[in-house]
Amino acid sequence: MMRRLYLSFIILTSGPVLSRDLISETRLQELNQIFISKRVGGPAPIPGSKVDRVDIKTIIKIQAKATEAEIKRANAEASCSLQDFFGLPYGFLNSEQVHLSTEIYSDIFHSSDQLTNKIKDAYLRVRPALRTDLVPNPIQKLVRVAPRTSYPSGHTGIAMTTALVFSKIFPNRKAFLLDRAKQIGFGRVLGGVHHPSDVKAAYLVGKLVASELLKRPEFLIQLADLCNKLNPGKHCLRINELRPRSL
Cα-Cα end-to-end distance for the chain: 17
In the predicted structure, residue 53 carries a pLDDT above the cut 50: yes
User: According to the model, what pLDDT value does residue 69 have?
Assistant: 98
Q: What pLDDT score does 203 carry? A: 97
Task: Indicate whether 2 pLDDT > 50.
Answer: no
**The pLDDT of residue 3:** 34
Work out the widest C-alpha separation in the chain, in whole angstroms: 58
Examine the pLDDT at 4 and tell me if it is beyond 80: no
Q: What is the distance between the alpha carbons of residues 29 and 77, in angstroms, rounded to a whole number?
A: 29
Q: What is the pLDDT of residue 241?
A: 80
pLDDT, one tens digit per residue, over 93-116 is: 999 999 999 999 999 999 999 999
Domain 30-241: which CATH class?
mainly alpha
12: left (phi over 0), alpha (psi -120 to 50) or beta: left
Q: Average pLDDT in the 76-101 region?
A: 97
pLDDT at 105: 98
Q: Report the pLDDT value the prediction gives residue 220, as an integer from 0 to 100.
A: 96
pLDDT at 17: 55
- Tell me the C-alpha distance between 66 and 1, whole Å: 45
State residue 81's pLDDT score: 97
Mean predicted confidence (pLDDT) in 72-101: 97
Mean pLDDT across the stretch 87-93? Answer: 98
86, 188, 245 from 76: Cα distances, Å: 11, 11, 41
Is a pLDDT exceeding 80 seen at residue 65? yes
Residue 14 has pLDDT above 70, yes or no: no
Q: pLDDT tens-digit profile of 169-213?
A: 999 999 999 999 999 999 999 999 999 999 999 999 999 999 999
Burial 121-133 (b: 16+ CB within 10 A, else e): eebebbbbbbbee
C-alpha–C-alpha distance, residues 231 and 101, integer Å: 12
| Mean pLDDT in residue range 77-88 | 97
Q: Provide the pLDDT for residue 6.
A: 37
Q: Which residue has the higher pLDDT, 96 or 14?
A: 96
**Antiparallel, parallel or unpaired: β 17-20 and 3-6:** antiparallel
